[in-house]
Amino acid sequence: MWNGKLKAVTFSFDDGVTQDIRLFELFNRYGLKGTFNLNSERLGSKHTLVRNGKEVPFERVDAHLVKEIYRGHEVAVHTLTHVNLTTLGEEEIVRQVEEDRKNLSRLCGYEVVGMAYPCGGVNNDDRVAEIISRRTGVRYARTITSTKSFSLQTENRFRFNPSTYVIEADFEEVVDKFLSASADEPQLLYIWGHAYEMDAEYITWENLERILKKLSGREEIFYGTNSEVLFCE
């Protein structure tokens, strides 16, 4: 399936924050790959958030640094301004997605084709997915609904559900389940999150690194970006 392997791991992190720099340093250290979902009209904005009772920096990377910062990984759409697409009409959905995609493609120097839906709660539906599939250059779009499973979900890649979220209580259990599962058919471990959540200590950077190390260096696993694992022949 993936260069002859039946297991694959990919990561998807949202918002394009400066904590991504520490995260992809860990990815590079352990031979892992991820996709980073950016809001092109909010690049360079700086403020703080209160998460898990802690005030954490929420500083988006500067536009002119995007190509270098995310080199070797994948950049994907997160809409221009981080809006809930289910509340919008068709033309604004197209503008938010396609203009973000074009902006990011120019910044990265390659055609951006991936996406993650922004906002919590109900942030996607069949109407929005159909519009994106029909009227934009996006080829897949990730939700925030954890499945706790490793299905390829080939029937609808415009509402692709991740396996697990890094701050969920059973995150490591899902990783261990994947690692111990027999690979009689293709299995994909798809992990998502926000890099600032480690600063908020929902999961510490040290614990995340320990889990990344556990996942790494396995001959039976293919490590790729979202596009690489979803469209590998």
Q: What is the pLDDT of residues 180-204, one digit of tens each?
A: 998 889 999 999 999 999 999 999 9
pLDDT for position 144:
97
Which band of pLDDT confidence, cut at 50, 70 and 90, is reported for residue 155?
confident
The CA distance from 49 to 196, in Å, is: 9
Q: Is the pLDDT at 114 greater than 60, yes or no?
A: yes
Is 1 part of a structural domain of the chain? no
> pLDDT tens, 61-76?
999 999 999 999 999 9
Q: Torsion over CA of 84, 86, 224 and 155, rounded to 10 degrees?
A: 170
* Number of domains making up the chain: 1
Is 174 part of a structural domain of the chain? yes
Helix segments in the chain, DSSP class H = 19-30, 66-69, 90-94, 100-108, 126-135, 171-180, 196-199, 205-215, 226-230
pLDDT for position 163:
98
Is 47 part of a structural domain of the chain? yes
Is 46 part of a structural domain of the chain? yes
Q: 196 lies in which domain range?
A: 7-230
pLDDT for position 233:
56
The CA distance from 164 to 154, in Å, is: 18
> pLDDT tens, 5-61?
999 999 999 999 999 999 999 999 999 999 999 999 999 999 999 999 999 999 999
pTM, entire model:
0.97
pLDDT for position 151:
92
Between 216 and 156, whose confidence is greater? 216
Is 76 part of a structural domain of the chain? yes
Is 2 part of a structural domain of the chain? no
Domain CATH for 30: 3.20.20.370
